[in-house]
Amino acid sequence: MSKFLEVTNLNVTFPTADGDVHASNEVSYSVGLGETLAIVGESGSGKSVSNLAVMGLHNVTRTKITGSAILNLSDGPVDLISASPETVRRLRGKEMSMIFQDPMSALHPFFSIGDQIAEAWHLYNKGSKSDGIKKAIEMLDLVGIPDASVRVHDFPHQFSGGMRQRAMIAMALVNNPSLLIADEPTTALDVTVQSQILKLLKDLQNEFNMAIILITHDLGVVAEVADRICVMYGGRIVEDASVEDIFYRPEHPYTLGLLNSVPRITSGLSHRLRAIPGQPPSLINLPSGCSFQPRCEYSSRVSSGACTESVPALNDKGSGHLSRCHLDIADLNDLVKDKA
């Protein structure tokens, strides 16, 4: 059965004076209605770039995009990569929406919150100005803004960070889209507000049966809301599995490294966090073979230097758990046990 969004072999390249930046390489993922896919990775791993390509928000003259991103709408599938910019524009805000990391700079400082939400609504609905404001109040109420009928006339600077993100969510969902891409929606917020926003997204998903793509570098956020996780590194997906599998049975050394660098409540006080040594790779000159190989502590276990010679394929090593590594899983599990 096809999912709502199916991204296949997506490549995003930015030609620069120093050479092509391969921000996203052969990226494939999919997300169904009512499902949350988390895309995890460090800065520059290509997680935002891939999703901006899906939304058609890259500058076409300065970006090379290949591959496909099929949106399975009720009236037939649309490939967002090959479709005309105008076609994709008419899907934005209606079928797919996006919210961003910094809700302060993402809202226009000169227009009231209500006007900005109403503007999105008017784009796809016929109605008077007051209908738009009514809809905006309804949406603000839905996302948990108190006194929505008063606050609707406020400007972004009169809202707190958490409220601004709620307003962004209200704006993104005003036309009831089937896909919401949330690009680090909680990164700029403090921890208590973070969990409120995540809970809100989860509640809204249950109510409207949306597909959500959650882009984040915070594994804690992922554990809370995601159904499935894609781990990205150096513009490639290195592991793609269910939340359970990623947290309890990671198969890629990078995922393992990420998990080791997060404090666990069970590990006790004496346990020191282990950082992954080295630096993320340059996206202009990706290392030959596996892009994680220079930082990988297990690469020596793989015979005949395969790690430096060929990019490992994203293999299904068991019931929908995909991993891009030359190492045998049995070996990795043994190694992990040794350490523990």
Structure tokens that stand for 135 in this block: 């809809």
Closest to 162 in 3D by CA, of 176, 143, 148: 143
Question: Among the residues of 36-128, which ranges form H helices?
Answer: 47-55, 85-91, 103-106, 113-124
CB of 203 to other proteins, least distance (A): 22
Which residue is listed with tokens 């030609």? 15
Q: What is the closest distance, in whole angstroms, from the C-beta atom of residue 196 to other proteins in the complex?
A: 21
**Nearer to other proteins among residue 31 and residue 180 (C-beta):** 180
Between 55 and 246, CB nearer to other proteins: 55
Q: CB of 49 within 8 A of CB of 12?
A: yes
Site string for other proteins, 41-80 (x = CB under 8 A): --------------x-x-----------------------
Shortest Cβ 304–other proteins spacing (Å): 47
Output the CA angle 12-41-83, nearest 5 degrees.
30
CA atoms within 13 A on the CB side of 176: 8
Cβ atoms of 29 and 238 within 8 Å: the answer is no
Q: Give 70 or 120: the residue with its C-beta nearer to other proteins.
A: 120
Residue bearing tokens 């523990």 = 340
Distance from chain centroid for Cα 301: 32
Q: State yes or no: residue 39 binds other proteins (CB under 8 A).
A: no
Total of chain residues touching other proteins, rule CB under 8 A: 30
The one segment of 39-47, 84-92, 232-240, 278-286 that binds other proteins by CB under 8 A: 84-92
The least CB distance from residue 164 to other proteins, in Å, is: 11
Q: 126 Cβ partners below 8 Å, 6+ apart?
A: none
Q: Is 210 in the site for other proteins (CB under 8 A)?
A: no
* Interacting positions 107-126 with other proteins (CB under 8 A): 107-112, 119-120, 123-124
- Which positions from 85 to 104 touch other proteins by CB under 8 A, shown as an x/- string? ----xxxxxx--xx-x-x--
> Rounded distance, CA 303 to CA 239, Å?
21
Distance between CA atoms of residues 179 and 172, nearest Å? 10
Minimal distance, residue 233 CB to other proteins, in Å: 25
Query: Exactly one of 65, 106, 139, 148 binds other proteins (CB under 8 A); which one?
Result: 106
Nearer to other proteins among residue 158 and residue 288 (C-beta): 158
Which residue from 83, 50, 71 is spatially nearest to 4, judged by alpha carbons?
71
Q: Which of residues 142-181 bind other proteins (CB under 8 A)?
A: 155, 157-158, 168, 171-172
Q: Which residues contact residue 288 at a Cβ distance below 8 angstroms, ignoring those fewer than 6 apart?
A: 308, 309
| Using rule CB under 8 A, residue 230 touches other proteins | no
In whole angstroms, the minimum distance from the beta carbon of 110 to other proteins comes to 5
- The smaller minimum CB distance to other proteins, of residues 62 and 337, is found at 62
Please spell the DSSP secondary structure of 283-298, one letter per residue: SSSPPSS-TTGGG-TT
Nearer to other proteins, 118 or 221 (CB): 118
How many residues are given for the chain? 340
How far apart CA 251 and CA 229 sit, in angstroms, is 13
- For the bound state, the minimum distance from the C-beta of residue 47 to other proteins, rounded and expressed in Å, comes to 16
Residue ranges in contact with other proteins by CB under 8 A: 55, 57, 89-94, 97-98, 100, 102, 105-112, 119-120, 123-124, 155, 157-158, 168, 171-172
